[in-house]
Every structure is written in C-alpha cells, then in structure tokens.
C-alpha cells in the first residue's frame, strides 16, 4: 500500500508540474511575457490593491521584484501606474487594453488546455476524479488544522 500511495503522490506532483509548465510555455510563446509578469497581470485583473507591498504579500515575493516586474510591464504597455492623489505613496496599477488582452487570451487558453487534459474521460470518470481530488484536499486541510505530526516534529530537533 505504501508504494501505491508514493506512486499516486508522485503522479499528482508530476501532473501539477507539467500542467503549469505547459501553460507557462504556451503563454510565453504566444505573449512574450515571463511567468512572473503573467502571474502579476492575472492577479491585477482579479483583485484591487492599494500598494505594491500588498501585491508582493499576495504573491509572496519581494516588493523589489514587484517593482521590477511592474516597470517592465509598464514599459511594454501592459499596465499603467498613476499616483493616488489622496496618498502619493501609493500607485493605482491598472491593466491597459493590451494587458486585458493577455488576461482574456490566458482564460481561453486555460479552458482549452483543460479540455485537452481531460480528453477521452467520461462524465462518470471526471465526477469520480473530482471526488477523489476533493477528498485529498480535505485530508490536506485536516493535516494542516490538526497538526498530527507535531510529536514527530518535536522529536526531530537537530
């Protein structure tokens, strides 16, 4: 059983990695923007931020990395930055039509890739798979909430 679990876990990791790799490769080929820039555009399209620090916190990257990516996106016409007249320490970052085009393209790309990903699966198989994956997520949440490995962690003090 342990080997089966290890194999299933490995397949989940590989699938996740390959899914991301394929998407980012296609996004970069079609738009010419990097993974970090793409992620930034997608986040900006779906959430409002008061500051670049908030963006950095959301993406778990440094404010300097956000600044560099925003400068590049702005210079290439994907975003505009305008100073907040009420508080000049903050910039309003908005997508331009070009930036919105990348977001629309990406959404359609995600839909198309997902359709191809599940080609040949029946509705029943997809329903079963969704149920299995939901149970896996529930188990992960339970692990995080109950911390069942706390004792093991406490024993491992190098």
Whichever domain contains 94, its CATH number is 1.10.10.10
Residue 153 lies in a domain: no
Residue 36 lies in a domain: yes
Instruction: Report the pLDDT averaged over residues 75-89.
Output: 83
Give 158's pLDDT tier (boundaries 50, 70, 90).
low
Q: Are residues 14 and 33 in the same domain?
A: yes
Residue 156 lies in a domain: no
- How far apart are the C-alpha atoms of 102 and 96, rounded to whole Å? 10
Give 134's pLDDT tier (boundaries 50, 70, 90).
very high
Q: Are residues 87 and 140 in the same domain?
A: no
Q: Spell 41-78 as b/e; 16+ CB within 10 A means b.
A: bbebbeeebebbeebbeeeeeeeeebeebbebbbeeeb
Range of the domain at 134: 118-148
pLDDT at 153 over 80: no
**Of 31-45, 65-79, 136-150, minimum mean pLDDT range:** 136-150
Instruction: Report the pLDDT averaged over residues 82-96.
Output: 78
Residue 155 lies in a domain: no
Q: Are residues 47 and 77 in the same domain?
A: yes
C-beta of residue 37 within 8 angstroms of C-beta of residue 102: no
State the total domains in the chain: 2
DSSP 8-class letter at 78: S
Give 98's pLDDT tier (boundaries 50, 70, 90).
very high
Provide the 10 A C-beta neighbour count for residue 99.
Answer: 24
Q: Are residues 53 and 128 in the same domain?
A: no
pLDDT tens-digit profile of 37-72? 999 999 999 887 767 888 889 889 998 998 899 999
Residue 13 lies in a domain: yes
Given this model, what pLDDT does residue 152 score?
Answer: 66
Residue 47 lies in a domain: yes
Instruction: Report the pLDDT averaged over residues 95-113.
Output: 94
Question: Closest Cα partner for 105 from 58, 38, 36, 47?
Answer: 38
Given this model, what pLDDT does residue 41 score?
Answer: 94
Question: Closest Cα partner for 75 from 98, 59, 92?
Answer: 98
pLDDT at 4 over 80: yes
Question: Closest Cα partner for 72 from 36, 29, 101?
Answer: 36
Q: Are residues 71 and 125 in the same domain?
A: no
Q: Are residues 92 and 14 in the same domain?
A: yes
Q: Are residues 65 and 126 in the same domain?
A: no
pLDDT at 107 over 90: yes
- How far apart are the C-alpha atoms of 37 and 72, rounded to whole Å? 8
Residue 104 lies in a domain: yes
Residue 63 lies in a domain: yes
- How far apart are the C-alpha atoms of 80 and 92, rounded to whole Å? 8
**Whole-number mean pLDDT of the chain?**
89
The percent of residues above 70 in pLDDT, for the chain, comes to 94
């Amino acid at each position: 059983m342990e080997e089966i679990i290890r194999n299933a876990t490995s397949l989940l990791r590989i699938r996740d990695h390959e899914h991301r790799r394929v998407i980012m490769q296609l996004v970069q080929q079609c738009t010419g923007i990097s993974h970090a820039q793409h992620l930034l555009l997608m986040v900006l399209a779906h959430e409002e931020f008061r500051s670049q620090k908030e963006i950095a916190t959301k993406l778990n990257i440094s404010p300097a990395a956000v600044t560099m990516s925003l400068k590049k996106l702005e210079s290439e016409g994907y975003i505009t930055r305008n100073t907040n007249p009420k508080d000049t320490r903050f910039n309003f970052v908005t997508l331009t039509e070009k930036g919105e085009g990348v977001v629309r393209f990406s959404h359609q790309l995600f839909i198309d890739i997902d359709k191809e990903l599940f080609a040949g699966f029946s509705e029943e198989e997809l329903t079963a798979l969704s149920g299995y994956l939901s149970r896996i997520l529930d188990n992960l949440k339970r692990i995080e909430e109950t911390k069942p490995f706390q004792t093991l962690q406490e024993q491992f003090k190098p």
